[in-house]
Chain A
Amino acid sequence: MTPTRTILLNIISGLSLAICIIFGVTYISFKNANVFQDIKIEITNNPITNNNDIDFMMMGYKPYECASTRVYGVAYAEAGHSHVLDKFTKQYTRNTRPRENVPNQWSMSVPEDMIVGGEYRVSMTGEFVCNHWIFQVPKVQTYGNILLIVEPLDNNQ
């Protein structure tokens, strides 16, 4: 084998190895990253009265391009039972810009079996599909312990 060919083969194999390592490290860091960083979700109209909707506000930073496929909440009562919150009365902004702090808001109706009132801890869960370079990974992120107080409907009427 001529010296030029040897050098060329060495360069090609070296570059291939470098590409493999860069892709591997990038993939593992992308796969393990959370969808949102510096995230904060709050209910802005506590306590919920008069059959009003629950207003949520979120602040967060998305390091990668992620699109939500399903978003829902679960309200856990102190007594142990739980209620699924999945009826959006006002939609959240979808596909917010990555690498920027974008505030987001949405409203959800109070499930019928929650009108008796009480104190709840809400967990909001989002299912996403995230893209980075040639990678595509499904991710799930949950933000828990959001205080929700629902006034009994009878007291307000």
Chain B
Amino acid sequence: MNKSTKIEKQVARWDLYAKITPTFFLVASAISLTYGITSFDTLFNIGMVLFAFTAVTWWFWTIITIKYIIKTMSSATTDLLEVKQDLKGIREEIRIDSN
């Protein structure tokens, strides 16, 4: 599996995580509060830990992904410049030949 496909899959996983987690946490909290399983204080602390964990993971994932994208773009730009240079040379040769 190449890196781009990996990133695409990771984005899909983040999307799913962003959709599921808040709703799941809210429903689980409502149930545990209703049945007196946990106090609001405990739920608040769990929420804060989850939030902090998500924020830190997201931050590092974003940095790594941006680094990869910039590297890919830079490589693509270099390749395009080389192609442009080659085309210039070919054009020059055609011009000389036609004369």
Contact = CB atoms under 8 A, between A and B. Distances in A.
Same complex for A and B? Answer yes
Main secondary structure of the interface of A (DSSP, over half): helix
A13 B44 contact: no
Interface residues of A, number: 16
Contact of A12 (B23, B33, B41): B23
Contacts of B19: 9-10, 12-13
B14 to A, nearest CB: 12
Task: Sort chain B's interface into a size bin.
Answer: 10 to 19
A14 B26 CA distance: 12
Contacts of A135: 40
A134 B26 contact: no
Contacts of A12: 19, 23
Contact of A13 (B23, B41, B47): B23
Interface of B: 18-23, 25-26, 33, 40-41, 44, 47-48
Interface of A: 9-10, 12-14, 16-17, 19-20, 24, 27-28, 31, 134-136
